[in-house]
Structure 1
């Protein structure tokens, strides 16, 4: 399935990809994460259908922490743009929805994927805010770790 994004989203993704600021490599946080931090909402994006997609702090198993640590996809802006783009939403597979976008610039051409759980249950229980679990992970297709340039926006 071919992902299509609007011209304005493409321009934003290109700008995101070539913007330069300091970048850092994410490291695993060895401390246990409290439920309050785990379920902590750090971004609430809306997709093309107006559906709220929470991005939670999470830990090494879920959310922003997992995407950043495991896949070096730390940019909340890139996550939001991937979720918000037109025709980026693939058909759901049960409670899982995948959003796909294309980012080019800075010497790379990337397909970004954001995997979302629309259910309200995790192995740590139900989110206290009543919203769905939200982002499980995000990654650059075909490579284990996204380039640092993705996070420089």
Structure 2
């Protein structure tokens, strides 16, 4: 038989164990909702939903530097159909009419390319400039234009320069490809719009997402 002293020790130990169990049971249990999740689910132009690690906006050159030329070529960055897409976009814009805004030459912001060119985006009207692409093509962030202009021109034809940018996730999945067309001269190609100061440039003529007339809203949120 246990001595009275032994029985007292056993009872004290049992009570301590019971208290510890009750405290442990009262502690909050972590659930999935308490754990921060910085993974973003994105939808590709083909309708596929892919888990990424956040969206980023890069010029085409920056994308190549980050993910390599092979992956860039796989997405068609070095072999684009910008010319045809621009024609399609221009045809859609023509439906809106050719009403001209008064102060078309007002500069909204200026970007600088890798060669040191200072390229303005002007107020414009439905034929070119900010008014032309911000509504119909859903590019409402100056960051989109400045990011594309930060690289070297991808194409040069007379005074016409072309730049590109891509919206992608951390895995290199491209969600949208942006083209920015610039008239680096004091008058437009059709001589319709002219600047009094011939040292100034018309700047961004249009910007759009290839393969679609309206860019995704996510482009304006990065």
Normalised TM-score (structure 2): 0.51
In the alignment, is the contact (CA less than 8 A) between 1:9 and 1:81 conserved in 2?
no
> Deviations along 1:91-117, whole A, 9 cap, x unmatched?
311111000112114x96111111000
Equivalent in the alignment of 1:82: 148
Higher relative contact order, structure no. (Cα contacts within 8 Å, ≥ 6 residues apart)? 1
Q: List 4+ stretches of structure 1 deviating above 2 A.
A: 6-10, 28-32, 127-130
Equivalent in the alignment of 2:166: 102
Using the TM superposition, name which of 143-152 and 112-121 deviates more.
Answer: 143-152
> Do the aligned partners of residues 9 and 73 (structure 1) sit closer, same or farther apart at CA in structure 2, a change above 3 Å counting?
farther
CA–CA distance in structure 1, aligned partners of residues 216 and 136 of structure 2: 12
Equivalent in the alignment of 1:64: 130
Equivalent in the alignment of 1:140: 209
Matched, 1:124 2:193: yes
CA–CA distance in structure 2, aligned partners of residues 132 and 69 of structure 1: 23
- Which protein is bigger by CA-based radius of gyration? 2
Matched residue SS, 2:124: coil
Normalised TM-score (structure 1): 0.72
> Deviations along 1:17-62, whole A, 9 cap, x unmatched?
xxxxxxxxxxx7997521xx20000111100011111110101011
Aligned length: 129
Matched, 1:33 2:101: yes
CA–CA distance in structure 2, aligned partners of residues 58 and 7 of structure 1: 32
